Chains A and B, each alone.
Chain A
Amino acid sequence: MSATPLIRGRWGYASITDKIADIVLHRPTHWMWAAGLIVTLMMSVFFFGAMGYLFTVGVGIWGVNIPVAWGFAIGNFVWWIGIGHAGTFISAFLLLLRQKWRNSINRFAEAMTLFAAGIAGLWPILHLGRPWFAYWLVPYPSVMNYWPQWRSPLVWDFFAISTYLIVSLLFWYVGLVPDLATLRDRATTRAKQMVYGFFALGWRGEARHWARYETAYLLLAGLAAPLVISVHSIVSLDFALGNTPGYHSTIFPPYFVAGALYSGFAMVLTLAIPMRHFFGLEDFITKRHLDNAAKIMLATGLIVAYGYIAEVFTAFYSQDEYEIAMTLNRFFGPYAFVYWGVIACNVVIPQVLWFRGVRRNVLALFALSLVIQLGMWSERFMIVVSSLSRDFLPSSWGLFVPTFWDVSMLVASIGFFFFLFLCFIRVLPAITIFEMRELKHEELEGKEP
């Protein structure tokens, strides 16, 4: 493992605390942050306006049809939920694996997870023909004596995603409590003191509290780890359990999870790189962090690539005429450009990550993270749309053409995501302060690996 320290430069408990807390408490608003906030706010407003229009007119405003009954909405859903995986993965897995470098990135990664997963959760509802009845997926004793249909992967989705959201929120909040206490004690105005104080729940860092706290946190991590895997596996079952050629495949769960982390870590970089720059956090989020994230991207990317190969292989190995036709259709059909785009963005280009120079080149990583996210979105589109467009009976084949609303709502949802994130970094400490102190402590103890 590299020798570069996880905290660069000469920092003490106090200075770490002040540095991070002041971003929230004292730092004057930067014009770029303000500009970003306004732009993304406008996009968010459009997003909700579009929803209103969608609800009044119907999903017909999108390009969906028969046979392609699922379009952007489901693709976006899968993509967002994928992005929403990195945070909890970082917090949970890396904690269990004693990866100390997680401490400086887990807080904002978890926030990212929450926002992404939240937005992801919107899409299936927007996608419904009658969204106002979405609550029928919730089991409750109704006057109809009728229940959800438990064999449907969509019901599993509902449970998986809501569980994931709740657990991630708990995990994130529990992690926040000591830092909220810090902000409470450093708050300058009464209001801030009250607000932070309220959410800090009167935390006072007593030894027994810390002991129980760490146990609970570890348990949460232990629970969240399988949860992360389960969520995208279940999402993948929406497809794998279908009989459509291009859906019906056992490779989906692992390959979806890998893809999720792939895009998730890409998003972490997309967020971390500008943040560390604008808020001068280079000493906490060091190149070593970026390097590690890049390595994980490389690894998950290779798993995804394996998934692509395996799909093609099984198609021809199985000699199933429908699978073969589907594969050829992906290669040369009307949506071939998407497929090759996916291969380029997710498989070919990311191979540059083998080079240390690239992994430590901030700009290169940033660009790459965007490429990968584009690639992963295209992959979702490829799976959802091109598979449906040509299934069993040639007579029912058809194409999907996105409409203005398809595209604009996707873009707007991205804007909404960044809006939430921009708010977050000015309201809560984007880096776990107490864990940084702990890290410093261990460093002093010479325990730092």
Chain B
Amino acid sequence: MNAPLWRDASAGPGRAAGAFDGVADRISQWDGSGEAGAGAFALTRRDFLKLSAAAAALATAGCRGPVEEIVPYVSPRTAAPGVPQFFATAMTLGGAGTGVLVESNMGRPTKIEGNPAHPASLGSAGMYEQAAILELWDPDRSKGITLRGQPATRIALETALFERMEKLGPAHGAGLRILMRYSSSPTLAAQVQALLRRFPAARVHTWEPLHRDHSLAGARLAFGRAAEPVYRFGNADVVVAFDRDFVGEGPGHLRHARDFMDRRRRRESAPPNRLYAFECTPTLAGAIADHREPLAPGALSHALVQLAAALQGGSADHPLVAAAAADLLSHRGGCVIVAGESMPPEAHALVHRLNGQLGGVGQAVEYIEPVQGDIDCTRSLQALASDMEAGTVDTLLILGGNPVYDAAGDVPFRELLARVPLSVHHALRPCETSAACTWHVPQTHFLEHWSDTRAFDGTASIVQPVVAPLYDGISPHEMVAMLLAPIGGTPRDWVRAQWLGASIDAAGEERWRAMLREGVVPDSAARTLQLRARDIDFAPPDTAKAWSLVFRPDQSLHDGEFANNAWLQEIPRTHSKLVWDNAAYLSPASARSLGVESGDRIEIESGHARLVAPVWILPGQPDDTITLALGNGRTRAGRVGNGVGFDAYPLRTAASPWSRTGANVRKVTGEHVFATTQNHAEMDGRDPVRRLNVPEAEGLREKPLEDEPPPETLYPEWKYDSYRWAMVVDLTSCIGCNACTIACQAENNIPTVGKEEVRRGREMHWIRVDRYYEGSHGKPRTHFQPVPCMQCENAPCEVVCPVGATVHDSEGINVQIYNRCVGTRFCSNNCPYKVRRFNFLHYTRRDGEPPLDARNPQVTLRMRGIMEKCNYCLQRITRARIETEREGRRIRDGEVVTACQAACPTLAITFGDLSDSRSAVSQAKRSPLDYTLLRELNTRPRTSYHAKVLNPNPDVLPPGSGGG
């Protein structure tokens, strides 16, 4: 399949012309690139084609396909211009890889989805994986090598480094330092080894701001060696989490969420699992927990110690701890305790021991070699810092990362860099660090280079490029290679050799192709280690009286590297629903004690650092703790990310990376304006989210939630003779992670609008995740509810449109005809679900919006003055319909997957054809838990919900427990 693929992937230069064809009304002739022209046509009104300067630069840069052959993901379609293709590759974050499929239109990557064959994804994709496409197209990416800010050539860089290496050679490379991030790339590891063989005196350091030092140290304490737990939540009836958001963040969280919810949904076979969450800042795990207890960091350790005691047959005075202990004991072998990074190493060690004692090991938890290796980032960075201090660092190569910004507050990295004669910063974008380095070298995006990576469970994937570097990027492997004695071949050869040796035999070739096609290296998962935890005594210090600070990665920006990503900036943080900001989260009580409201500013002083931050009152936050999100307040992130929020890193020290006690806090003058997407947090008795506990849910078998027939109507029923598309959202499974929102944004070319517009209430997300609180403000129960368009059969919006711009099609989809819309906004007024979005201004022309090439050519770009909304991914349905019609058959169940459905880690969204009574969605609709929103209005929604079923421990009645 060589030729066609190659052609297809390399439909580039034409494409650039294509994008401009739109303007010049000409089409280019290179295979398929004409379609790009047509794509540009279809994609936009003519006036959209006046690209922003940045995008124009891009378009002219064009995307040549990578020169080597790349192999598409097994695709049902034969390659043809205008038909999107999917390529399997993997994205590495925090050292762990997640398999993804990249949709490529005429050689232009436009969307990233999960790879079903990959253990960390199983087809789902998180926010970061999906938003990475925007990183690729970011106009603020480095466009070339710079030497002290001045453009330089690659030759110049290579010579500079070569001379350096010559000079360092005699000293065996003493003074040569490399600062990396967590990496699980065997190829890179091998390269580094080679480098160290050449320069034995050189040193490699690692700094990952969101490091896993505590858990690794804990493992060392428990097992005398580093190890990483791999959880199998599918085997756990009872899960007790100590400040561990296992469904929301960290390596494998997508998989964890899937396993946990699969287990929870299996009500029929086994009793559903139960989750106790003892945590500080409210997280997704806390939101889905059957019991959640907000505790300050110190108290968390004490709770764990109590639990240990209780499991030893002792007693726990905390009722919930006692209950949890009892539950654990009654589920030996089928239970697991998980601890978060914020817990001290001893706590981790203790947890390992308890898991062993409860028989969880081998069942719900296994141990493997850490995929990123046995590294203590804190020490590693401190070592580097002291050497820089001492002036013994001559050449420093910073491979990715942004230490100047994200090093612990007590490591003055910027100043230290000044003492390094030659520093090279290799990254995707110019940032705080590159400004302080001698050289800055543009890095290739992972969609642009060859590499490999390991998943949370050790499974390896080959990273294959789907597009040639948009700018003259250099891949990490090439970068390291520059320091090595010149070796032959290309990065592809190096990676290939890593996995197949030098052999080019047919069998090897076939294995190689399979790896690329499937996106995983067969049975490469790490083998499990047989470890027994030794006893360690853990006596946590007394809980502090003064304020304690808690540092958490920003839910959207990770450690700050995504700060220039408009999609992520505008994703509402799951609990606060804040966008384009971070805040000092306070509990209602603490806020009262400080006399502050949301929006007031407080000064936080801890150690030598002080910081003024705006307050946001967060129900469920423990008292006397302030949570600060890391990753904001970037100064050199780019046009999108500069000056958004405040930088909390200065308060963070190497010694206490996740929390500090004894901070001084006082109110200061000044107001801060927040932008939030949800102003009202309670359900006001309207129960949009129906909740029940397992026993009540069982009761529904006799009497379903909605058993009475739909309200009467004067009109005759409208007949739908073909497909009847419909959707069911399971609120039990929904963890509120926003993956659906990003997926929708990417699929449907949804623009971002910026903080000011969101503040005005003009966000554009087609599927929003509503968050409701229930119960006390101190310890509320949190509910999430994704709300796309309900596709009402009696759509109120359609009746009031004066120009018929929103109508029903024969398959029952409430379609919005952009080119007919005049923008009366009557439809939005009349939509009881308020799912319609309006282009009040020309948002698609905003600065920071992705260029045309990054857009989905199957979806129209909307100009200002036009209403838009969810349409069940009409373009996907249409594509499937055309293909099946060509084959003269009906669309099969599951053949159309909406973007949100594809992304959802917990399979909470079911979509399909109601006219087929055996389809998954038809079956879901028959569930006793099925209900529709605002049924009394008789809008007859096609989208319905499954009530949220919780499984609280009957012995404890937590505040605000669910009740239908």
Contacts and interface: CB of A to CB of B under 8 A. Distances in A.
A388 B822 contact: no
B762 A65 contact: yes
A154 B686 contact: no
A400 to B, nearest CB: 8
B672 interface: no
B823 A59 contact: yes
B802 A70 contact: no
Interface in B635-686: 678-686
Contact of A396 (B684, B802, B834): B834
Contact of B762 (A66, A70, A131): A66
Interface string A191-204: 00000000000000
B948 to A, nearest CB: 15
Given A152-B826, A243-B832, A394 B800 contact: no
A41 to B, nearest CB: 30
B911 to A, nearest CB: 22
B304 to A, nearest CB: 36
Nearest to B678: A395
B302 interface: no
Nearest to B771: A395
Contacts of B933: 393
B830 A129 contact: no
B825 A70 contact: yes
Interface in B759-808: 760-762, 768, 770-772, 785, 787, 796, 798-804
A158 B682 CA distance: 40
Nearest to B804: A149
B864 interface: yes
A66 B804 contact: no
Contacts of B956: none
B528 interface: no
B829 interface: yes
Which of B681, B822, B838 is the most central at the interface, judged by chain A CB atoms within 10 Å of its CB?
Answer: B822
Interface stretch (B60-68, B342-350, B357-365, B839-847): B839-847
A193 to B, nearest CB: 46
Contacts of A134: 822
A130 B821 contact: yes
A59 B828 contact: no
A57 interface: yes
A184 B952 CA distance: 92
A58 B829 CA distance: 19
A152 B686 CA distance: 29
B532 interface: no
Given A66-B828, A67-B761, A325 B684 contact: yes
A63 B799 CA distance: 26
B832 A146 contact: no
Given A129-B825, A398-B679, A393 B834 contact: yes
Which of B825, B837, B839 is the most central at the interface, judged by chain A CB atoms within 10 Å of its CB?
Answer: B825
A394 B937 CA distance: 16
Contacts of A127: 824
A60 B864 CA distance: 9
Nearest to A387: B829
Contacts of A148: 802-804
B740 to A, nearest CB: 16
Contacts of A155: 802
Given A60-B864, A394-B682, A128 B833 contact: no
Contact of A149 (B678, B770, B801): B801
Interface in A44-62: 57-60
A58 B842 contact: yes
Q: How large is the interface on B (under 10, 10 to 19, 20 to 34, 35 or more residues)?
A: 35 or more
A10 interface: no
Contact of B683 (A58, A65, A70, A394): A394
A154 B824 contact: yes
A392 B835 CA distance: 12
Given A130-B866, A134-B822, A152-B800, A244 B840 contact: no
A395 B804 contact: no
Interface in B931-962: 933-934, 937
Main SS of chain B's interface residues? loop
A238 B770 CA distance: 29
Given A66-B838, A129-B864, A393 B823 contact: no
A242 B864 contact: no
A31 interface: no
A133 B761 contact: no
Interface string B827-871: 011101110111111100000000000000000000111110000
Contacts of B761: 65-68, 398-399
A393 B688 contact: yes
Contacts of B803: 133, 136-137, 148-149
Nearest to A130: B865
B918 interface: no
B804 A154 contact: no
Given A129-B839, A394-B686, A395-B772, A151 B799 contact: yes
A154 B832 contact: no
B534 interface: no
A55 to B, nearest CB: 10
Contacts of B800: 151-154, 241-242
A392 B823 contact: no
Contact of B820 (A57, A136, A151, A242): A136
A321 interface: yes
Contacts of B823: 59, 128-130
Nearest to A127: B824
Contacts of B801: 149, 152
A228 interface: no
A395 B688 contact: yes
A63 B762 CA distance: 10
A286 to B, nearest CB: 46
A396 B772 CA distance: 12
Which of A147, A247, A393 is the most central at the interface, judged by chain B CB atoms within 10 Å of its CB?
Answer: A393
Contacts of B865: 58-59, 128-130
A137 to B, nearest CB: 5
B822 A244 contact: no
A397 B679 contact: yes
Interface string B675-701: 000111111111010000000000000
Interface in B694-743: none
Given A137-B803, A395-B787, A69 B829 contact: yes
A110 interface: no
Which of B683, B757, B828, B866 is the most central at the interface, judged by chain A CB atoms within 10 Å of its CB?
Answer: B828
A64 interface: yes
A374 B790 CA distance: 40
B840 A392 contact: no
A323 interface: no
B44 to A, nearest CB: 16
Contact of B937 (A147, A149, A243, A396): A243
Which of B761, B803, B804, B832 is the most central at the interface, judged by chain A CB atoms within 10 Å of its CB?
Answer: B761
A136 B829 contact: no
Contacts of A321: 685-686
Nearest to B770: A395
Contact of B830 (A58, A242, A397): A242
A215 to B, nearest CB: 37
A148 B822 CA distance: 12
Contacts of B820: 136, 146
Nearest to B785: A395
A391 interface: yes
B686 A392 contact: yes
**Which 4 pairs, one residue from A and one from B, show the smallest C-beta to C-beta distance?**
A129-B823, A129-B865, A60-B840, A65-B761
22 contacts: A58-B842, A60-B841, A65-B840, A66-B834, A128-B823, A128-B865, A129-B840, A130-B823, A133-B822, A136-B820, A137-B803, A148-B802, A154-B826, A243-B830, A388-B829, A391-B832, A393-B787, A394-B686, A394-B772, A395-B680, A395-B688, A395-B768
Interface of A: 57-60, 63-70, 124, 127-131, 133-134, 136-137, 146-149, 151-155, 158, 238, 241-244, 247, 321, 325, 388, 391-399, 401
